[in-house]
Amino acid sequence: MLKIDGENLTAHSTIESIWRCIKEAKEVLSQVIHRTPLIRSATFSSMTGGDVFLKLENLQKTGSFKIRGAYYKLWKLIKERNLKCCVAASSGNHAQGVAYAASLLGIKSIIVMPEYTPVAKINATMGYGAKVVLYGSTYDEAYRKALEICKEEDAVFIHPFDDPDIIAGQGTIGIEIYEDLRNVDVVLVPVGGGGLISGIAIALKKINPDVKIIGVQAKGAPAMTLSFKKGYMVKYDNPYTIADAIIVKRPGELTFSIVKELVDDMILVDDFDISRAIFLLLERCKLVAEPAGALGLAAILSGKVDIKGKKAVAVISGGNIDMALLAKIIEKILFKERREVRIRGTLPDRPGMLKKVLEVLAEVKANIVTIEHDRFNPNLEPGMAEVTITIEVPSVGGLDEILAKLKRIGYEFKLV
Protein backbone atom coordinates (compact mmCIF):
# COMPACT_ATOMS: atom_id res chain seq x y z
CA MET A 1 0.00 0.00 0.00
CA LEU A 2 1.33 3.41 -1.01
CA LYS A 3 0.82 6.85 0.44
CA ILE A 4 0.33 10.16 -1.32
CA ASP A 5 -0.22 13.18 0.92
CA GLY A 6 -1.00 10.86 3.82
CA GLU A 7 -3.64 8.78 1.99
CA ASN A 8 -3.32 5.03 1.52
CA LEU A 9 -3.58 4.23 -2.17
CA THR A 10 -3.33 1.14 -4.36
CA ALA A 11 -0.79 1.09 -7.19
CA HIS A 12 -3.65 1.58 -9.68
CA SER A 13 -5.12 4.61 -7.91
CA THR A 14 -1.64 6.08 -7.50
CA ILE A 15 -1.03 5.83 -11.23
CA GLU A 16 -4.43 7.40 -11.96
CA SER A 17 -3.70 10.26 -9.56
CA ILE A 18 -0.29 10.97 -11.08
CA TRP A 19 -1.74 10.78 -14.61
CA ARG A 20 -4.17 13.59 -13.72
CA CYS A 21 -1.24 15.60 -12.39
CA ILE A 22 0.81 14.97 -15.55
CA LYS A 23 -1.93 16.59 -17.63
CA GLU A 24 -2.04 19.55 -15.26
CA ALA A 25 1.77 19.80 -15.23
CA LYS A 26 1.82 19.99 -19.02
CA GLU A 27 -0.31 23.15 -18.89
CA VAL A 28 1.65 24.65 -15.99
CA LEU A 29 5.02 24.04 -17.65
CA SER A 30 4.03 25.17 -21.15
CA GLN A 31 5.13 28.77 -20.51
CA VAL A 32 8.16 27.85 -18.40
CA ILE A 33 10.24 25.16 -20.09
CA HIS A 34 11.51 24.46 -23.59
CA ARG A 35 9.43 22.11 -25.72
CA THR A 36 12.50 20.04 -26.54
CA PRO A 37 12.81 18.58 -30.05
CA LEU A 38 12.37 14.95 -31.03
CA ILE A 39 14.74 14.34 -33.92
CA ARG A 40 15.35 11.34 -36.15
CA SER A 41 18.96 10.19 -36.53
CA ALA A 42 19.68 8.73 -39.96
CA THR A 43 23.09 7.57 -38.71
CA PHE A 44 21.82 5.64 -35.70
CA SER A 45 18.88 4.27 -37.71
CA SER A 46 21.30 2.90 -40.30
CA MET A 47 23.57 1.43 -37.60
CA THR A 48 20.75 -0.41 -35.82
CA GLY A 49 18.21 -1.31 -38.51
CA GLY A 50 15.52 0.59 -36.63
CA ASP A 51 14.06 4.07 -36.82
CA VAL A 52 15.92 5.94 -34.07
CA PHE A 53 14.64 9.18 -32.59
CA LEU A 54 16.25 11.28 -29.85
CA LYS A 55 14.26 13.28 -27.28
CA LEU A 56 16.68 16.10 -26.52
CA GLU A 57 16.28 17.01 -22.85
CA ASN A 58 19.97 17.96 -22.89
CA LEU A 59 18.69 21.13 -24.58
CA GLN A 60 16.26 21.81 -21.73
CA LYS A 61 16.66 24.77 -19.38
CA THR A 62 19.39 24.01 -16.78
CA GLY A 63 20.66 21.31 -19.15
CA SER A 64 18.39 18.46 -18.04
CA PHE A 65 14.80 17.29 -17.56
CA LYS A 66 14.89 18.05 -13.83
CA ILE A 67 13.36 21.52 -14.15
CA ARG A 68 10.04 19.89 -15.14
CA GLY A 69 9.43 18.07 -11.87
CA ALA A 70 11.02 20.73 -9.68
CA TYR A 71 8.91 23.57 -11.07
CA TYR A 72 5.64 21.65 -10.95
CA LYS A 73 6.29 20.50 -7.37
CA LEU A 74 7.06 24.01 -6.15
CA TRP A 75 4.15 25.51 -8.09
CA LYS A 76 1.75 23.14 -6.34
CA LEU A 77 3.24 23.82 -2.91
CA ILE A 78 2.97 27.58 -3.37
CA LYS A 79 -0.65 27.15 -4.45
CA GLU A 80 -1.41 25.17 -1.29
CA ARG A 81 0.50 27.18 1.33
CA ASN A 82 2.59 30.25 2.04
CA LEU A 83 5.90 28.71 1.01
CA LYS A 84 8.98 30.88 1.40
CA CYS A 85 11.87 28.42 1.31
CA CYS A 86 12.69 25.01 -0.15
CA VAL A 87 15.66 22.70 0.44
CA ALA A 88 17.21 19.97 -1.70
CA ALA A 89 20.23 17.69 -1.53
CA SER A 90 22.01 17.08 -4.82
CA SER A 91 25.38 17.30 -6.51
CA GLY A 92 24.03 17.91 -9.99
CA ASN A 93 20.93 18.27 -12.13
CA HIS A 94 18.31 18.21 -9.38
CA ALA A 95 20.17 20.99 -7.58
CA GLN A 96 20.08 23.21 -10.65
CA GLY A 97 16.46 22.37 -11.45
CA VAL A 98 15.26 23.25 -7.95
CA ALA A 99 17.38 26.41 -7.80
CA TYR A 100 16.09 27.68 -11.14
CA ALA A 101 12.46 26.77 -10.42
CA ALA A 102 12.60 28.50 -7.03
CA SER A 103 14.05 31.65 -8.56
CA LEU A 104 11.27 31.73 -11.19
CA LEU A 105 8.64 31.35 -8.48
CA GLY A 106 10.23 33.95 -6.21
CA ILE A 107 11.12 31.77 -3.23
CA LYS A 108 14.39 31.04 -1.43
CA SER A 109 16.24 27.78 -2.15
CA ILE A 110 18.99 26.10 -0.17
CA ILE A 111 20.88 23.27 -1.83
CA VAL A 112 23.12 20.97 0.19
CA MET A 113 25.89 19.53 -1.95
CA PRO A 114 28.63 17.06 -0.95
CA GLU A 115 32.02 18.69 -0.42
CA TYR A 116 33.54 16.87 -3.40
CA THR A 117 31.06 18.46 -5.86
CA PRO A 118 32.88 19.99 -8.86
CA VAL A 119 33.19 23.78 -8.75
CA ALA A 120 31.38 24.12 -12.09
CA LYS A 121 28.24 22.51 -10.64
CA ILE A 122 28.41 24.61 -7.48
CA ASN A 123 28.75 27.80 -9.51
CA ALA A 124 25.89 26.80 -11.84
CA THR A 125 23.58 26.13 -8.88
CA MET A 126 24.50 29.43 -7.25
CA GLY A 127 24.03 31.13 -10.61
CA TYR A 128 20.41 29.99 -10.63
CA GLY A 129 19.88 31.82 -7.34
CA ALA A 130 20.36 29.14 -4.67
CA LYS A 131 22.28 29.31 -1.44
CA VAL A 132 24.71 26.37 -1.55
CA VAL A 133 25.79 24.53 1.59
CA LEU A 134 28.70 22.12 1.19
CA TYR A 135 28.45 19.25 3.65
CA GLY A 136 29.71 15.68 3.95
CA SER A 137 31.50 13.43 1.52
CA THR A 138 28.44 11.50 0.28
CA TYR A 139 24.89 12.23 -0.87
CA ASP A 140 23.49 10.50 2.22
CA GLU A 141 25.37 12.91 4.51
CA ALA A 142 24.20 15.88 2.43
CA TYR A 143 20.62 14.54 2.57
CA ARG A 144 20.64 14.31 6.37
CA LYS A 145 22.00 17.85 6.59
CA ALA A 146 19.27 19.06 4.24
CA LEU A 147 16.60 17.61 6.53
CA GLU A 148 18.16 19.45 9.48
CA ILE A 149 18.07 22.72 7.54
CA CYS A 150 14.41 22.11 6.67
CA LYS A 151 13.53 22.11 10.38
CA GLU A 152 15.66 25.18 11.11
CA GLU A 153 14.21 27.18 8.20
CA ASP A 154 10.65 25.81 8.37
CA ALA A 155 11.21 24.85 4.76
CA VAL A 156 10.02 22.02 2.49
CA PHE A 157 12.37 19.29 1.25
CA ILE A 158 12.17 18.61 -2.49
CA HIS A 159 12.94 14.95 -3.15
CA PRO A 160 14.78 14.22 -6.43
CA PHE A 161 12.55 11.33 -7.54
CA ASP A 162 10.28 9.62 -4.98
CA ASP A 163 7.47 12.17 -5.06
CA PRO A 164 4.24 12.07 -7.10
CA ASP A 165 4.48 15.69 -8.25
CA ILE A 166 8.12 15.31 -9.29
CA ILE A 167 7.11 12.19 -11.23
CA ALA A 168 4.20 14.07 -12.82
CA GLY A 169 6.46 16.88 -14.00
CA GLN A 170 8.87 14.41 -15.62
CA GLY A 171 5.91 12.58 -17.17
CA THR A 172 5.20 15.55 -19.45
CA ILE A 173 8.07 14.22 -21.59
CA GLY A 174 5.95 11.15 -22.35
CA ILE A 175 3.08 13.27 -23.67
CA GLU A 176 5.46 15.27 -25.85
CA ILE A 177 6.98 12.09 -27.30
CA TYR A 178 3.53 10.79 -28.27
CA GLU A 179 2.43 14.11 -29.75
CA ASP A 180 5.53 14.18 -31.96
CA LEU A 181 5.61 10.45 -32.85
CA ARG A 182 2.20 8.81 -32.49
CA ASN A 183 3.34 5.44 -33.86
CA VAL A 184 6.29 5.06 -31.49
CA ASP A 185 7.02 1.41 -30.62
CA VAL A 186 9.60 1.59 -27.84
CA VAL A 187 10.99 4.28 -25.55
CA LEU A 188 14.31 3.87 -23.72
CA VAL A 189 14.72 5.88 -20.55
CA PRO A 190 17.74 6.43 -18.25
CA VAL A 191 17.04 5.27 -14.70
CA GLY A 192 18.52 6.23 -11.34
CA GLY A 193 15.94 6.51 -8.58
CA GLY A 194 13.14 6.07 -11.11
CA GLY A 195 11.33 9.42 -11.23
CA LEU A 196 11.84 10.00 -14.95
CA ILE A 197 10.84 6.53 -16.15
CA SER A 198 7.85 6.43 -13.77
CA GLY A 199 6.42 9.64 -15.22
CA ILE A 200 7.11 8.70 -18.85
CA ALA A 201 5.70 5.19 -18.34
CA ILE A 202 2.46 6.50 -16.80
CA ALA A 203 1.95 9.06 -19.58
CA LEU A 204 2.65 6.72 -22.49
CA LYS A 205 0.88 3.66 -21.11
CA LYS A 206 -2.24 5.72 -20.41
CA ILE A 207 -2.22 7.04 -23.99
CA ASN A 208 -1.12 3.80 -25.71
CA PRO A 209 -0.61 0.64 -23.61
CA ASP A 210 1.21 -1.05 -26.52
CA VAL A 211 4.24 1.26 -26.30
CA LYS A 212 7.15 -0.64 -24.76
CA ILE A 213 8.99 1.20 -21.98
CA ILE A 214 12.52 0.03 -21.30
CA GLY A 215 14.67 1.38 -18.49
CA VAL A 216 18.43 1.54 -18.80
CA GLN A 217 20.98 1.64 -15.98
CA ALA A 218 24.74 1.46 -15.73
CA LYS A 219 26.17 -1.89 -14.62
CA GLY A 220 27.91 -0.12 -11.76
CA ALA A 221 24.65 1.31 -10.35
CA PRO A 222 21.95 -1.33 -10.97
CA ALA A 223 19.65 -0.95 -7.95
CA MET A 224 16.39 -0.51 -9.89
CA THR A 225 17.28 -3.23 -12.40
CA LEU A 226 18.06 -5.74 -9.66
CA SER A 227 14.86 -4.79 -7.84
CA PHE A 228 12.83 -5.13 -11.06
CA LYS A 229 14.26 -8.59 -11.85
CA LYS A 230 13.80 -9.89 -8.31
CA GLY A 231 10.39 -8.34 -7.75
CA TYR A 232 11.31 -6.65 -4.48
CA MET A 233 13.42 -3.68 -3.38
CA VAL A 234 17.16 -4.35 -3.51
CA LYS A 235 19.89 -2.15 -2.03
CA TYR A 236 23.17 -2.01 -3.95
CA ASP A 237 26.07 -0.84 -1.81
CA ASN A 238 29.08 0.99 -3.28
CA PRO A 239 27.68 1.87 -6.72
CA TYR A 240 30.18 3.37 -9.17
CA THR A 241 29.86 4.53 -12.78
CA ILE A 242 30.81 7.53 -14.89
CA ALA A 243 27.04 8.17 -15.06
CA ASP A 244 27.09 9.90 -11.67
CA ALA A 245 23.66 11.49 -12.11
CA ILE A 246 21.93 8.09 -11.77
CA ILE A 247 23.91 6.68 -8.85
CA VAL A 248 21.52 5.57 -6.12
CA LYS A 249 21.87 2.72 -3.63
CA ARG A 250 18.18 1.82 -3.79
CA PRO A 251 15.16 2.98 -5.82
CA GLY A 252 12.30 4.91 -4.30
CA GLU A 253 9.31 3.01 -2.92
CA LEU A 254 6.83 4.93 -5.06
CA THR A 255 8.93 4.78 -8.20
CA PHE A 256 9.66 1.06 -7.78
CA SER A 257 5.96 0.26 -7.46
CA ILE A 258 5.26 2.15 -10.72
CA VAL A 259 8.19 0.58 -12.56
CA LYS A 260 7.11 -2.88 -11.46
CA GLU A 261 3.59 -2.17 -12.72
CA LEU A 262 4.26 -0.42 -16.04
CA VAL A 263 7.84 -0.88 -17.29
CA ASP A 264 8.40 -3.72 -19.77
CA ASP A 265 12.08 -4.37 -19.15
CA MET A 266 15.21 -3.07 -17.44
CA ILE A 267 18.67 -3.56 -18.92
CA LEU A 268 22.27 -2.68 -18.06
CA VAL A 269 25.06 -1.12 -20.11
CA ASP A 270 28.71 -0.69 -19.17
CA ASP A 271 30.76 2.49 -19.06
CA PHE A 272 32.36 1.74 -22.46
CA ASP A 273 28.89 1.51 -24.03
CA ILE A 274 28.00 4.85 -22.43
CA SER A 275 31.25 6.47 -23.55
CA ARG A 276 30.76 5.33 -27.14
CA ALA A 277 27.23 6.73 -27.20
CA ILE A 278 28.47 10.10 -25.91
CA PHE A 279 31.25 10.09 -28.51
CA LEU A 280 28.92 9.27 -31.42
CA LEU A 281 26.30 11.80 -30.31
CA LEU A 282 29.00 14.45 -30.35
CA GLU A 283 30.62 13.38 -33.61
CA ARG A 284 27.58 12.46 -35.70
CA CYS A 285 24.78 14.60 -34.21
CA LYS A 286 26.82 17.51 -32.79
CA LEU A 287 25.06 17.01 -29.45
CA VAL A 288 26.60 16.98 -25.98
CA ALA A 289 25.19 14.45 -23.51
CA GLU A 290 26.23 13.61 -19.99
CA PRO A 291 26.83 9.92 -19.22
CA ALA A 292 23.41 9.38 -17.61
CA GLY A 293 21.78 11.15 -20.54
CA ALA A 294 23.29 8.73 -23.05
CA LEU A 295 22.12 5.49 -21.39
CA GLY A 296 19.16 4.84 -23.70
CA LEU A 297 21.21 5.38 -26.84
CA ALA A 298 24.01 3.22 -25.39
CA ALA A 299 21.52 0.36 -25.02
CA ILE A 300 20.50 0.69 -28.67
CA LEU A 301 24.00 1.05 -30.14
CA SER A 302 25.47 -1.79 -28.07
CA GLY A 303 22.77 -4.19 -29.29
CA LYS A 304 21.37 -4.76 -25.80
CA VAL A 305 17.94 -3.87 -27.24
CA ASP A 306 16.84 -5.11 -30.65
CA ILE A 307 14.93 -2.33 -32.42
CA LYS A 308 15.07 -3.65 -35.99
CA GLY A 309 12.00 -2.47 -37.87
CA LYS A 310 10.77 -0.44 -34.89
CA LYS A 311 10.39 3.23 -34.14
CA ALA A 312 12.52 3.76 -31.04
CA VAL A 313 12.98 6.87 -28.92
CA ALA A 314 16.05 7.30 -26.71
CA VAL A 315 15.53 10.00 -24.09
CA ILE A 316 18.73 12.07 -23.90
CA SER A 317 17.98 13.22 -20.37
CA GLY A 318 20.80 15.71 -19.78
CA GLY A 319 23.90 17.40 -21.12
CA ASN A 320 25.71 18.62 -18.00
CA ILE A 321 28.99 16.79 -18.47
CA ASP A 322 32.27 17.75 -16.83
CA MET A 323 34.62 18.98 -19.57
CA ALA A 324 37.59 17.02 -18.21
CA LEU A 325 35.53 13.81 -18.31
CA LEU A 326 34.38 14.56 -21.86
CA ALA A 327 38.02 14.96 -22.95
CA LYS A 328 38.90 11.59 -21.38
CA ILE A 329 35.95 9.89 -23.08
CA ILE A 330 36.92 11.27 -26.49
CA GLU A 331 40.53 10.14 -26.04
CA LYS A 332 39.53 6.68 -24.83
CA ILE A 333 37.12 6.01 -27.71
CA LEU A 334 39.62 7.26 -30.27
CA PHE A 335 42.08 4.66 -28.93
CA LYS A 336 39.44 1.93 -28.63
CA GLU A 337 38.41 2.38 -32.26
CA ARG A 338 42.07 2.61 -33.38
CA ARG A 339 41.64 6.08 -34.77
CA GLU A 340 44.41 7.14 -32.43
CA VAL A 341 47.04 4.52 -31.57
CA ARG A 342 50.31 4.07 -29.75
CA ILE A 343 53.03 2.02 -31.47
CA ARG A 344 56.38 0.94 -30.03
CA GLY A 345 59.60 -0.39 -31.50
CA THR A 346 63.40 -0.43 -31.05
CA LEU A 347 65.88 1.42 -33.24
CA PRO A 348 69.67 1.71 -33.39
CA ASP A 349 70.55 4.71 -31.22
CA ARG A 350 72.19 6.63 -34.05
CA PRO A 351 71.48 9.94 -35.79
CA GLY A 352 68.91 9.67 -38.58
CA MET A 353 67.23 6.44 -37.44
CA LEU A 354 64.13 8.13 -36.02
CA LYS A 355 63.92 10.32 -39.10
CA LYS A 356 63.29 7.22 -41.28
CA VAL A 357 60.35 6.24 -39.09
CA LEU A 358 58.89 9.74 -39.23
CA GLU A 359 59.23 9.80 -43.03
CA VAL A 360 57.06 6.66 -43.24
CA LEU A 361 54.43 8.28 -41.02
CA ALA A 362 54.49 11.44 -43.12
CA GLU A 363 54.12 9.39 -46.30
CA VAL A 364 50.85 7.83 -45.11
CA LYS A 365 49.69 11.18 -43.67
CA ALA A 366 49.57 9.98 -40.05
CA ASN A 367 49.56 12.89 -37.61
CA ILE A 368 52.00 12.55 -34.72
CA VAL A 369 50.61 13.36 -31.27
CA THR A 370 53.53 12.42 -29.01
CA ILE A 371 56.97 10.78 -29.25
CA GLU A 372 58.78 9.11 -26.34
CA HIS A 373 62.44 8.15 -26.83
CA ASP A 374 64.00 5.87 -24.20
CA ARG A 375 67.64 4.73 -24.40
CA PHE A 376 68.03 3.90 -20.68
CA ASN A 377 65.66 0.93 -20.41
CA PRO A 378 67.80 -1.82 -18.78
CA ASN A 379 66.11 -4.45 -20.96
CA LEU A 380 67.45 -2.88 -24.15
CA GLU A 381 70.66 -4.02 -25.76
CA PRO A 382 73.46 -1.44 -25.66
CA GLY A 383 73.29 0.91 -28.59
CA MET A 384 69.53 0.55 -29.01
CA ALA A 385 66.67 2.92 -28.13
CA GLU A 386 62.98 2.25 -27.59
CA VAL A 387 60.57 4.63 -29.35
CA THR A 388 56.87 4.98 -28.50
CA ILE A 389 54.81 7.12 -30.89
CA THR A 390 51.18 8.19 -30.51
CA ILE A 391 49.59 8.90 -33.89
CA GLU A 392 46.24 9.78 -35.41
CA VAL A 393 45.51 7.11 -38.01
CA PRO A 394 44.36 8.70 -41.29
CA SER A 395 42.00 5.98 -42.51
CA VAL A 396 40.40 2.61 -41.83
CA GLY A 397 43.15 0.00 -42.23
CA GLY A 398 45.78 2.71 -41.97
CA LEU A 399 47.47 1.12 -38.96
CA ASP A 400 48.21 -2.14 -40.81
CA GLU A 401 49.70 -0.13 -43.68
CA ILE A 402 51.93 1.83 -41.29
CA LEU A 403 53.24 -1.28 -39.51
CA ALA A 404 53.88 -3.03 -42.86
CA LYS A 405 55.83 -0.07 -44.28
CA LEU A 406 57.97 0.18 -41.12
CA LYS A 407 58.70 -3.53 -41.31
CA ARG A 408 59.83 -3.20 -44.94
CA ILE A 409 62.52 -0.70 -43.90
CA GLY A 410 63.67 -3.03 -41.12
CA TYR A 411 61.79 -1.74 -38.06
CA GLU A 412 59.45 -3.99 -36.10
CA PHE A 413 56.81 -1.84 -34.43
CA LYS A 414 53.83 -3.18 -32.49
CA LEU A 415 50.60 -1.72 -31.22
CA VAL A 416 50.86 -0.92 -27.52
- Domains of the chain, residue spans: 2-64+163-332, 85-154, 338-415
Q: Which helix (H) or strand (E) holds 392?
A: strand 384-392
In CATH, the number for domain 2-64+163-332 is 3.40.50.1100
CB 92 within 8 Å of CB 66? no
Q: Is 66 a catalytic residue?
A: yes
CATH number of the domain located at residue range(s) 338-415 in this protein: 3.30.70.260
The confidence score (pLDDT) of residue 7 equals: 46
Fold: same for 2-64+163-332 and 338-415: no
In this model, does residue 204 exceed pLDDT 90?
yes
Q: Active-site residue among 26, 61, 66, 205?
A: 66
d(CA 314, CA 89): 28
The pTM score is 0.91
The arithmetic mean of pLDDT across residues 346-367, rounded, is: 92
Instruction: Please give the pLDDT value at position 292.
Output: 96
Q: Which of 41, 64, 90, 317 is catalytic?
A: 317
Q: Is 227 a catalytic residue?
A: no
- Phi and psi at residue 129, in whole multiples of 5°? 105, 5
Q: What is the pLDDT of residue 10?
A: 58
Digit-coded pLDDT (tens) for 176-191: 999 999 999 999 999 9
Region of poorest pLDDT, from 5-14, 173-182, 287-296, 309-318: 5-14
The percentage of the chain sitting over the pLDDT mark of 90, rounded to a whole number, equals 82
pLDDT digits (tens, 9 = 90+) for 366-398: 999 999 999 898 889 999 999 999 999 988 778
Query: Please, which pLDDT band fits residue 134 given cuts at 50, 70 and 90?
Result: very high
Q: Is the per-residue pLDDT at 8 higher than 60? A: no
6 pLDDT band, cuts 50/70/90, is very low
Whole-number average pLDDT of the chain: 93
Main-chain dihedrals φ then ψ at residue 5, nearest 5 degrees: 50, 40
Give the three-class secondary structure for 415.
Answer: strand
Please say if the pLDDT value at position 399 is more than 60.
Answer: yes
What span, in angstroms and rounded, lies between the C-alpha atoms of 89 and 134? 10
What pLDDT sits at residue 2? Answer: 52
Tell me: the pLDDT tens digits for 100-133? 999 999 999 999 998 888 888 899 999 999 999 9
State whether CATH 3.40.50.1100 applies to domain 85-154. yes
Q: Mean per-residue pLDDT for 285-290?
A: 97
Q: Is the pLDDT of residue 4 over 80?
A: no
